[in-house]
Amino acid sequence: MQSYKDFLRSKQIITRPSGFEPYPIKDGPFDWQSAIDRWAIRKGKAALFEDCGLGKTLQQLEWSRQVSLHAGLPVLIVAPLAVAKQTQREGVKFGYSVTVCRSQADIQPGINITNYEMLEHFDAEKFGGVVLDESSILKSYSGKIKQQIIDMFRDTPYKLACTATPAPNDFMELGNHAEFLGIMTRSEMLSTFFVHDGGSTQSWRLKGHAQGDFWKWIASWAVVLSDPADLGYDGSAYKLPPLNVIEHIVKTGHKFDSDGQERLFAPTVQTLNDRRAARHESLEQRVKECAEIANSTDKQCLVWCDLNEESKALAKAIKGAVEVTGSDTDEHKADAMMGFTDGSIRCLVSKPKIAGWGMNWQNCDTGIFCGLSDSFEAYYQAVRRCWRFGQHNPVDVHIVVSDAEGAVKANIERKQANAQHMTSEMVKYTKAILQADVRGTIRQQDNYFPRQEMVLPPWLERTA
């Protein structure tokens, strides 16, 4: 018969560790990186939600080495295109051997890495552990790739997911991470902690009384870190240089209303179709402005665009530019991105959805946006390729828009402030629990050692 204590324990919504006691850790540059590795190894299935440049690559390499030693099986890291070769380089720097693979036939003992595009060529049963680098690919809760990953590695004993800190109100992304790790399905998470609002299937609100339990549950399987100081470590080496966002507004020429009357000012677009039309109309002027900025310096620069016509025109107008498009071969994409990494390519022209994830480009301090899409996340990720921990120079981000597109810079700054606030809220809810868990802190207490035998007074003995 189940005791009442066991019954209460069964109701606790805390993820119990399924890992192992770590072997001696190969020390990294910072003590908090090693501490988080020990925590993740003991957990067995965990997520590292750490900001760009905090060393997730080094942490996942050490986690993979430990799991491979313990399980006696190879470990597979899955990463965006070109990040595989970058990780291999990082591995050499810190003494890890990493094999870049295109299929199961390439797998070697120890640490292996491939791209998400190659997953279908691997057998998940052959691996003791799996790491998802840039695991925000799980964001799309109805996506084919997301479901393929969850199903493929459902029975893998050890799992690690690594990405920048998600927005705390992006509950679907958190739920998909929990489902990948085998902690709780997304539907179970929603029914446990959330209430459904309205008729939309996507409108879920965190129950007021469940808020503390929800973040306690998150902290039982995920580290949320925007700065080492969040966990009580020295964060002095992780201060970002200034970010200068510079808006360039190009004139789109004279505008005429429906009656053929000339307008004094260009009308500000309202709908998505209006914005697309305005972007096409101003393409030539925006490309010219971007090219002038890029050609005014010999420094490396990243040029981001959203339309195929922009990409082609920019590559033609900018000296030393190499274009990376969706239709290019994987080899060309990887070679171009690594060429930009080693400095052999001065200017890279691409879309954020192609080259805006996972790459470390602290060697560049100039980014140019030839217009912006409606995705703040795409903008954020593209900026963070350069503006990340390890960047020593101020970063200039030029945003080139037409006068018909409205106050783009102000809108970005508003979204940036909202994102920073939400991340700080997420850290606030989880850091107290994680400080104790990661750092192994315990409540201090004084030990009592009695030195005299206690003697009861006579009056107390009479009443006993």
For the chain, counts of helices (H) and of strands (E): 16, 17
Residue limits of CATH 3.40.50.300 in the chain: 240-415
Cα-based distances in Å from 357 to 224, 240, 302: 19, 19, 13
Residues of the chain with CATH 3.40.50.10810: 13-237
* pLDDT score of 398: 96
Strand, coil or helix: 402: strand
The fold of the 13-237 domain, in CATH, is Rossmann fold (3.40.50)
**CATH class of domain segment(s) 240-415:** alpha beta
Q: What confidence score (pLDDT) does residue 420 get?
A: 76
Nearest to 337 by CA among 319, 349, 320: 349
Please write the tens of the pLDDT for every residue from 402-423: 887 766 777 777 877 777 776 7
Three-state SS at 322: strand
Residues 22, 162: Cα–Cα separation, whole Å:
19
- Using one digit for the tens of pLDDT, what is the confidence trace for 348-388? 999 998 988 888 999 999 999 998 877 787 888 899 999 98
The low-confidence residues of the chain, meaning pLDDT below 50, are 4-11, 141, 254, 256-266, 441-448
Q: State residue 198's pLDDT score.
A: 61
pLDDT for position 447 = 44
324-329 contacts, C-beta under 8 A, 24 or more apart: 324/348, 324/349, 324/350, 324/354, 324/355, 325/350, 325/351, 325/354, 326/351, 326/354
**CA angle centred on 159, ends 6 and 94, rounded to 5°:** 130
Which pLDDT belongs to residue 119? 92
